Amino acid sequence: MNALILALSLSAHPGAAAPAAGAPDKGPQLEFPTPPEPARIKWLKTVKNLDDLRGKKRGFLNKLADSFVGGDSSSGLFDRPYGVAVDPKGRVIMPDNGGGVVHIVDLAARTHKKFPGEGGGMLMTPGGAAADPAGNIYVSDAGDTSVKSYGPDLKFRWKFEHWEGDGAFGRPAGMAWSPKGELLVIDAGRRSVIAVSAEGRFLREFLRGGKDEGALGMTANLWVEKDGTIIESDPVVGRIHLFSPDGKMLSGFGESGDRPGYMARPRGVAADSDGNIYVVDAVFNRVQIFNRQGQLLLYFAAPGSRDAELNLPAGIFIDHSDRLYLVDAGNARLQVFQYIKVPDSAYEKK
């Protein structure tokens, strides 16, 4: 992480303007920080349509083939994507609250499926997604204020929306699977976290606004680490909070502002294998990386619509290989980056 701190000064300001008119266009920056410093974040892939997914450049023959079959492989796959998760098979799960579907994107097989749900599990306004070690998929649906579960084969398993007492979702949002064997669901309406079992059984509610110590603000996104630590982002106060698995406040950092290290509208949050915390900011159109003490280490991406540029970014997921899956909501696409481990010795002067 020290090397990341050294890299910070090489990054562009989160609010930096585009090159002046008439200046030569060097293309988008795909590695961060700026070379010749060692890359810590590298852009890998953008998926907006089937051509992107298949790695094909669109030419005359593609257009001719589409005209015969009545399709268009350059048409956008997504409408208004928000959340993102990756299942044990490596499939990217992307809820799309505009299309009322979940996109199942297999980057290795280069396939895409629009999944609207089935039977009692039909989707209305999906927003959050998670997957457990068995491959079961969970989707939060603000349309009917429920959480729905599907098997690895996408067969409907159960729908959860009520529990004893005053239990009813206000607006289920971000979700994550906990190593304790719990599905943790942020209820933005109740300002709390609901824990649900893999079988769809209510387990507990905690961090409820007005009742619990360290209660949540108007949050919509969270991340759960391997040790069960819960990380959540609060876009109203521009802050990140860390809680123990049972909901005890551990620490927090951040405040609203427009300078590096501050937050304007934090959305998705995640952590890599080194414990660095990634915060997606929909105003900066960047991702900021912090250490556990809240010190800014690096920021990457830029406002725009080219590769490694963002427009109203939302959800983020980091897999076991430190590959970053980022929902570029305003551009209606998925972008994939890689976190690269670099030893501190690489920054030593020779």
pLDDT tens profile 244-260: 998 899 999 998 888 88
Q: What is the dihedral of CA 117, 120, 124, 129, to 10 degrees?
A: -60
The DSSP call for residue 210 is T
Residue 172 burial class via C-beta count within 10 angstroms: exposed 0-12, middle 13-18, buried 19 and up? buried
Domains and CATH numbers, the chain: 2-13+32-45+121-344 (2.120.10.30)
Distance CA 94, CA 158 (A): 19
The CB-side HSE value for 89 (13 A sphere, CA atoms) comes to 17
Q: Which of 1-10, 54-63, 121-130 has the lowest mean pLDDT?
A: 1-10
Is the per-residue pLDDT at 297 higher than 90? Answer: yes
Q: Give tens-digit pLDDT for 136-195.
A: 999 999 999 999 999 999 999 999 999 998 899 999 999 999 999 999 999 999 999 999
Kind of pairing between the strands at 323-328 and 286-290: unpaired
Distance CA 322, CA 337 (A): 9
Using CA atoms, how far residue 97 sits from 106, 127, 181, 307, 323, in Å, is 20, 6, 27, 24, 24
pLDDT of the residue at 211: 58
pLDDT of the residue at 68: 53
319: Cβ contacts below 8 Å, ≥ 6 apart: 86, 90, 325
- The DSSP element (H or E) to which 173 belongs, if any, is strand 172-178
Using CA atoms, how far residue 162 sits from 5, 139, 303, in Å, is 46, 16, 41
Q: Are 240 and 231 in contact (CB under 8 A)?
A: yes
| Structure tokens, 143 | 């349309």
Is the per-residue pLDDT at 10 higher than 80? Answer: no
Looking at residue 340, its amino acid is: I
The DSSP call for residue 33 is S
Confidence of residue 208 (pLDDT cuts 50, 70, 90): confident
Q: Are 325 and 316 in contact (CB under 8 A)?
A: yes
pLDDT of the residue at 21: 55
The DSSP call for residue 330 is G
Is the per-residue pLDDT at 17 higher than 70? Answer: no
| Structure tokens, 211 | 């009742």
The pTM of the full predicted model, rounded to 2 decimals, is 0.90
Is the per-residue pLDDT at 319 higher than 50? Answer: yes
More confident position, 290 or 4: 290
- Percent of the chain exceeding pLDDT 70 equals 86
Q: Which of 84-93, 180-189, 214-223 has the lowest mean pLDDT?
A: 214-223
Using CA atoms, how far residue 74 sits from 129, 150, 251, in Å, is 26, 30, 46
Looking at residue 302, its amino acid is: A
Q: 328: which strand partners?
A: 313, 333
pLDDT of the residue at 50: 96
17: Cβ contacts below 8 Å, ≥ 6 apart: none
Q: Are 263 and 256 in contact (CB under 8 A)?
A: yes
Could you please report the per-residue DSSP string of 136-147? -EEEEETTTTEE
| Structure tokens, 148 | 């729905």
Radius of gyration of the chain (CA): 20
pLDDT of the residue at 168: 96
Is the per-residue pLDDT at 59 higher than 80? Answer: no
**Within a 10 A sphere around the Cβ of 149, how many other Cβ atoms?**
22
